[in-house]
Structure 1
Amino acid sequence: MFKKKSIFTFLQAQVAAFLGGITDYGLMILLTEVFKLHFTFSILISGTVGAIINFSINRFWVFKNQSDYSSHINSQLFKFALVVLGSISLKSSGTLIFQKFFQIDYRIGRLITDLFVSYGFNYPLIKYWVFRVNKKPDVIESN
């Protein structure tokens, strides 16, 4: 059975992903349609901007995992950057595959790809690796 806190955390993470994602998607279209960059390059740039927004919201609101230790944030940033690199690679490749092999418009292919990448790749890694909280084991007192 799911705990209420887990469901709430999942929903908060979806809000963070949505805000980062809508920024990412809008910027991708702007860079592709107005500035005429190939969509794979637009995804690289827009994905980076969206990731910064997503990281900030996840760190300070969703997982509230913001210790004052600079090594802790450096570790989180490094892990998050690896997730973002994987995510951007998957999104670019998936969008390209939908466009080249299935003749699906890159905007639609990107939305389809995002669904799989967000739920199957980003969320699990962000929750269980980037912002994982190491809980101290309960100490059992003996008499």
Structure 2
Amino acid sequence: MFRKKSVLTFLKAQVAAFLGGITDYGVMILLTEIFKLHFTFSILISGTVGAIINFSINRFWVFKNQSNYSSHINSQLFKFALVVLGSISLKSFGTLIFQKLFQIDYRIGRLITDLFVSYGFNYPLIKYWVFRINEKQNAIQSN
């Protein structure tokens, strides 16, 4: 039962990440190609938009961690914001490295960077820190 729930949570988190990520990537392309912003600035803006989508889906569907206590959501938002700042920084820096050092188009460099950041940084922090469910919450959700 535990494994099945963990796999389901992981898969649902990937759906949330995909929806936030596709929005993030699309807005980045729009801002860079149409509005001619440098891709590092586009990543900052698009990452924020994608993060709002990702947070909402994670909170209400993936982890179902929806306590109505304002201090609880404020804590989740603060933690999530820190993860997003780290994520955006890693994505901007990684994309820049791929583009400058390896002459890889920023769109491809961004996709490569996203794979590492999503699985190695975002998912573990979101699951085990932002939306961590303690034993008391787990008992309530099981009922």
For normalisation by structure 2, the TM-score amounts to: 0.94
- How far residue 92 of structure 1 moved from its aligned partner, in angstroms, is 0.1
SS across alignment from 2:135: coil
The answer on 1:65 being equivalent to 2:65 is: yes
- How far residue 17 of structure 1 moved from its aligned partner, in angstroms, is 0.1
- How far residue 100 of structure 1 moved from its aligned partner, in angstroms, is 0.1
- How far residue 81 of structure 1 moved from its aligned partner, in angstroms, is 0.1
Letter in 2 for 1:32: T
Distance 1:74 1:97 in 2: 34
Letter in 2 for 1:91: K
SS across alignment from 2:75: helix
Give the % identical residues. Answer: 92
From the CA coordinates, give the structure whose radius of gyration is larger: 1
Count of residue pairs brought into register by the alignment: 136
Q: Partner residue of 1:49? A: 49
Q: Partner residue of 2:35? A: 35
The answer on 1:108 being equivalent to 2:140 is: no
- How far residue 124 of structure 1 moved from its aligned partner, in angstroms, is 0.1
Name structure 1 gaps, 5 residues minimum.
Answer: 137-143
Distance 2:115 2:50 in 1: 15
For normalisation by structure 1, the TM-score amounts to: 0.94
Q: Deviations over 1:69-109 (max 9, x none)?
A: 00000000000000000000000000000000000000000
The ranges of structure 1 where at least 4 consecutive aligned residues each deviate by more than 3 angstroms after the TM superposition are none
Q: Partner residue of 2:82? A: 82
SS across alignment from 2:93: helix
Q: Partner residue of 2:99? A: 99
More helix, by proportion:
2
Distance 1:134 1:10 in 2: 18
Distance 1:115 1:3 in 2: 24
Q: Deviations over 1:2-42 (max 9, x none)?
A: 70000000000000000000000000000000000000000
Structure 2 counterparts to residues 16-31 of structure 1, below 5 A: 16-31=16-31
